[in-house]
Amino acid sequence: MRSVPICGGRTLGLAWLKELLVVCCVLLLPSQILANIGKVIGVEQGAKVTRAGKSQPLRTGMDVASGDSISTDGSGLVQLIFVDDTKIAIGPNARMTLDVTMLRGNKKAKNFAVQALGGSFRFISGKSKKRAYSIQTPTATMAVRGTTFDLWVAPGSQSAMMMLQGRVSICALGGSCQETGSRCNLLATTQNGGIGRPVDQESYDQAVKEGFPFVHSQEQLLLPLQTNVTGCGTDTLPPVPQRAEDRTPSPDRAPQSGVQSSAAGPSQSSSPPENNTDSIGSGNGGSVGGSTGSGNGNGGGVSAGNGSGNGNGGNIGGSSGSSDAGGGSIGGGSGSGEPGSGGTIGGEGSGGFGGSAGSGATDGNGGNSGG
């Protein structure tokens, strides 16, 4: 067997040398594979990455590794996609650190921890298991349940999260937690260490304007990081329970950046107004299409409309009733006229109404009509 000379006059067998090289490759290769956990798919300067204490500008196509710290200035924007298909957008004036450990096969994460230290972000979870994800800010932690949400780490050590798809649980450092699956719902940490919601429409609008640029506009985002934000802008506020004391700002407190939030509770929504079928009048005109019509002065309410006037009868629900002083159209307008006889309405099932016949004398009842 041929040998290779080495220092000191000794020789090293080629076979043993090959084995040594293979061992070195096996030891080094996994660390390189595991280090590259994602890729930069979009950059607007200024943005930089700090790795092992050294900083450099980010460029599209660069790999990102566990332990990287990414930061942007006032005009910076970074868009990332990871090997497990997780996607993150980093907005202006933001800073984020990655701590990701990939499983064997490099397709899913065993641990996917993100430290959002300031600024605005969009987070879209990928193929890794839900329990692998952990999003941390200086004032809150978030557990992902298969989720798309925007995050704002605001000045003054406050964190706010807007739910866009799926479910997410947010917990303050004080131990208070809230979980939401309601789209456009905005939760934020409070000054007393709890979790709350904007106290009013103005606070919601201000939060969107200051801290949620990707809700305000998605023009700068690539298609993989865009999502449905309809109704989440400044024109719509999800129902928020409010207390009177939360609406009144303290006279000693100066205006501040962030979300003016109150303690969160169950969402409430106002019920739509019911159709008003009541009638008003001095006489009773009987039942017309399920609504009560009144005689001698008013035609009653027909299909949510109140008919009023001094006259009686007129057109009710498209059927005709006679009176000596016809009152015009009811159920679309008010009838007028001088008080007169209620007349005969129906007349043994005839006249277009059906039902019982009833003759109405002056200032009297018009009987039942319409059934």
Q: Where are the domains of the chain?
A: 35-243+258-263, 286-362
Q: How far is CA 213 from CA 4, 37, 185, in A?
A: 64, 26, 16
Q: How far apart are CA 52 and CA 185, in angstroms?
A: 38
pLDDT band of 89, cuts 50, 70, 90 = very high
Q: Which of 12-21, 179-188, 189-198, 265-274 is least confident?
A: 265-274
Count of residues making up the chain: 371
In the predicted structure, residue 215 carries a pLDDT above the cut 90: yes
Tell me the three-class secondary structure of the chain, residue by residue. Answer: CCEEECHHHCEEEHHHHHHHHHHHHHHHHHHHHHHEEEEEEEEECCEEEEECCEEEECCCCCEEECCCEEEECCCCEEEEEECCCCEEEECCCCEEEEEEEECCCCCCEEEEEEEEEEEEEEEECCCCCHHHEEEECCCEEEEECCCEEEEEEECCCEEEEEEEECCEEEEECCCCEEEECCCCCEEEECCCCCEEEECCHHHHHHHHHHHCHHHHCCCCCCHHHCCCCCCCCCCCCCCCCCCHHHHCCCCCCCCCCCCCEEECCCCCCCCCCCCCCCCCCCCCCEEECCEEECCCCCCEEECCEEECCCCECEEECCEEECCCCECCEECCCCCCCCCCEEEEECCCCCCCCCCCCEEEEECCCCCCCCC
In the predicted model, what is the mean pLDDT of residues 346-362? 40
Q: How far apart are CA 114 and CA 273, in angstroms?
A: 46
Q: Could you tell me which residues come within 8 angstroms of residue 83 by beta carbon, excluding any fewer than 6 positions away?
A: 36, 37, 38, 102, 106, 107
pLDDT: which is higher, 237 or 99: 99
pLDDT band of 257, cuts 50, 70, 90 = low
Q: How far apart are CA 49 and CA 68, in angstroms?
A: 6
Q: Which of 77-91, 129-143, 326-340 is least confident?
A: 326-340
State the pLDDT at residue 146.
82
Query: CATH code for 35-243+258-263?
Result: 2.60.120.1440
State the pLDDT at residue 85.
96
In the predicted structure, residue 121 carries a pLDDT above the cut 60: yes
* 288 Ramachandran zone, left/alpha/beta (phi>0; psi -120 to 50): beta
Which residue type does 48 have? K
In the predicted structure, residue 349 carries a pLDDT above the cut 90: no
Per-residue burial over 64-82, b = 16 or more CB atoms within 10 Å of its CB, e = otherwise: bbbebbbbbeeebbbbbbb
Q: How far apart are CA 51 and CA 72, in angstroms?
A: 15
Each residue's pLDDT tens digit, 270-279: 333 344 434 3
Each residue's pLDDT tens digit, 60-81: 999 999 999 999 999 999 999 9
In the predicted model, what is the mean pLDDT of residues 299-328? 40
Q: Which of 226-235, 288-297, 359-368 is least confident?
A: 288-297
- Burial class (CB within 10 angstroms; exposed 0-12, middle 13-18, buried 19+) of 104: exposed
Beta pairing, strands 291-293 & 36-44: unpaired
The top-scoring range by mean pLDDT among 96-100, 248-252, 297-301, 353-357 is: 96-100
What percent of the chain is predicted at pLDDT more than 70? 54
In the predicted model, what is the mean pLDDT of residues 227-247? 60
In the predicted structure, residue 23 carries a pLDDT above the cut 70: no
User: Edge-to-edge, what's the strand order for the sheet holding 329-330?
Assistant: 319-321, 314-316, 329-330
> What is the residue-averaged pLDDT of the chain?
71
State the pLDDT at residue 315.
42
In the predicted model, what is the mean pLDDT of residues 143-147? 88
Say what the pTM is. 0.59
